[in-house]
Amino acid sequence: MRDLPIPDPGTPDTRSPTRLLAWVGRQQLGSLALGVAFGIVWMVAQAIMPYTIGRGIQDGIVADDGSALAEWALVLLGLGIVQGAAGVMRHRYAVQNWLRASFLMAQLVSHHAARGGPAVRERLSTGEVVATVTNDAMRGGGAFDITARLAGAIASYAVVAAILLSTSVALGVLVLVGVPVLVLTLGTVIRPLQARQREQREEVGRLTALGADTAAGLRILRGIGGERAFFDRYRERSQAVRVAGVRVAGPQSLLDAAQVLLPGIFVVLVTWVGARFVVSGRIDAGDLVAFYGYAAFLVIPLRTAAEAVEKVTRALVGARRMLVVLAVERTVSGPVAPLAEPPVGSPLVDVTSGVAIAPGLLTCLVAAVPDEATAIAMRLGRLSAERGVLLGDRRLEDLDLETVRRRILVSEHEPILFSGPLRGQLDPWGRTSSDQAILDALAVANAQDVLDALPEGLETPIDERGRSFSGGQRQRLVLARALVADPEILVLVEPTSAVDAHTEARIARELRAARAGKTTLVLTTSPLVLDRADRVALVEDGRVVAEGTHRELLRRADYREIVTRGEGD
C-alpha cells in the first residue's frame, strides 16, 4: 500500500499530452509490468480453453478414449484455476495503476496551481482548475487501467492466431487480417469523438467556473436582486453543455454500436468458414468446436482493443487540459543555487521604497494610496516578481523560496478560508498540536465569540470560503491563523479594516503584547493600531517620506489627512 499524497511527485514531461502520460507511466513501471503480466496470463488461459475443449471432444469422445478425456478435463480445470487467480491479481493491479496515475496527475496539477498562486488566478478560473483536478486527472488515469487487459488481448490474439494457423492457414490469415481491419475501422470514429469530447470538456469547465463564481457572490447577488440574471446565465451555459453532450453522443453511440456489430460480423464469418472446412474434411469435429469457441472468444480482445482506443482518447483529452494548467508559470521562482540564509533577527529592508523593518519591533506603514502599500507588502514577502528586498545582507531572490516563506509570512487583506474543520483553517501547516496555542491566537484576534458560536468548536466544518461568517469574522479568523503560524517576520495588510472601533482597539492592544520582541509590520491607516506601534513609516509616491511615532507624525498635515480622513485633529 502506498501513502498518498506522494512527498515528491517529480517534474513531469509537459511537451505534449502523449509525453505527459508516458512520464506518468514511467513512475509506476513496476506495478504496470505486474498488471500486464497477470493480464497476459489471464487472457491466454482463456484463449487456450477452446483448444482444450476441442481436443477433449476429439480425443476423448470421438475417439472413445476415457483417459484422454480425463486428461483434457484436468487441463481445463487447471486453466480455470490459473485464469481465476490471474484475473483477481490483474484486476487488483489495474485498479491500483488507475488510481495511482489519477492521483499523481491530480497532485501535479493541484500543487502547481497552489504554487502558481496569482499567476494561475489571472489565467484560469477556480472552476476550470477544480474540473481539471477532479475530472481530467481521472480520465488520464483510465489509460493505465486498460493496459493489463490490452496486453492480455494482444497476447491472446497472437496465441489464437498461431493455433488457427497451425490448424488452417486460411482461417489464420483471416484472423490476422480481420482483427487489424476491425480496429482501424473503429479508429475512424475516434477523431470526431475526440474533438467533440474536447468541446464538451471546455463547456463543462465554463459551467463549473460560472457556478463557483455565482456561489461565491451569492450573498451580494441576493442583496442587489441579481439572482434571476445569474440564473438565466447559468441556464444558458448549462444548455450549451447539454448541446455539446448531444454532439458527443453521436460518435459515441456509433462507436458503441460498432464495438458490437463489427466483432459480431467477424465471428459469423469465422464460424461460417470453419463450418465449410469441416464439411470438406479439412478439419475434424474437435477443431470445429474449437473454432466456435474462438469465434466467441475473439469478441473479448476486439472489444478490449476498442475500449482501449476510447480510454486513451479520453486520457489524451484530459492530459491536454492538464497541460493548460501546468503551462502557467509561477510569478516567483527560487534561485538555481540559493545562498545560505541570514541569521535570525536580521532586518528586512525594501530598497525600492526605503521601508526598513527593525527586528523585534512593531512597525506600521501608512500610505495614501492603498495599492502602494500592498505592492510593498508583496515585495517584502517575495510574492511578486519585483526585486530589491534585503533580509540582512542577502537579497530575497537569492534565498531558497521555502526559506523565505518560512521566515516571512504575509497575511493579505482579502480573508480567504477553505472548506474543512476550523482547526485545519487556523493551523493548516500543522505547526502546533496545542489547542491552547490556537485559543490564544483567537483571543488576540478577538475571535473567541466566533468559536463559541460553533457547535463543535475547533472541529466544526467550515463552508467553502467561510461564507457562513461575516467579513469581520473572516478577517479575525485569518489574523488568528497568521498568529498561530508564529513566523519570524509577520506582515499584516489591513488586519482590522472590517471590525468596529472597540474590537479594533482590543486587537491592537493584544497584538502588540502577543508579538512583543518579534518583528511585525502592519499596513494600516487606523489611529488605534498606529498608536500601538514602535515606529510608523509614511509612504507617498512609493517612497518613505517620514518616520517616527504616531504622535510625532500627527504634526504633519499629510499624515493627519490620511489617518483621520479629513475629520480634523
Give me 387's grid cell: 526585486
- Summarize the confidence of residues 174-198 as an average pLDDT: 68
Coil, strand or helix: which one is 409? strand
- Looking at domain 348-564, its CATH superfamily turns out to be P-loop containing nucleotide triphosphate hydrolases (3.40.50.300)
What pLDDT digit, counting tens, does each position of 102-126 carry?
A: 888 888 888 887 777 667 776 776 6
String of b and e for 495-516 (b: at least 16 CB within 10 Å)?
bbebbeeebbbbbbbbbbebbe
- The average pLDDT across 469-482 equals 88
pLDDT at 217: 56
Topology adopted by domain 17-326: ABC transporter transmembrane region fold (1.20.1560)
Kindly tell me the burial class for residue 490, based on how many C-beta atoms sit within 10 Å of its own C-beta (0-12, 13-18, 19 or more).
buried
Q: Of 5-14, 171-180, 349-358, 414-423, which one has max mean pLDDT?
A: 349-358
* Partner residues linked to 461 by β-bridges: 421
Any idea where the domains of the chain sit in the sequence? Answer: 17-326, 348-564
Q: What is the pLDDT of residue 539?
A: 95
pLDDT digits (tens, 9 = 90+) for 160-184: 888 878 877 777 777 667 766 766 6
In this structure, the number of other CB atoms found within 10 A of the CB of residue 168 comes to 18
- For the segment 39-89, what is each residue's pLDDT rounded down to a tens digit? 999 999 988 888 888 888 878 887 788 888 899 899 989 989 998 999 899
Q: Contact, 407 vs 381, CB < 8 A?
A: no
| Model confidence, pTM | 0.60
The amino acid at residue 127 is G
CA contacts within 13 A on the Cβ side of 416? 7
**Rounded distance between C-alpha atoms, residue 137 and residue 147, angstroms:** 17
What pLDDT digit, counting tens, does each position of 305-353 carry? 878 887 888 888 888 888 888 888 777 777 888 999 999 999 999 999 9
| Four-residue CA torsion sign, 561, 564, 566, 569 | negative
In angstroms, the CA 52 to CA 74 distance is 10
Q: Which of 498, 532, 531 is nearest to 513 (CA)?
A: 532
pLDDT higher at 328 or 131:
328
List all residues 6 or more positions away from 173 whose beta carbon is below 8 Å from its beta carbon: 165
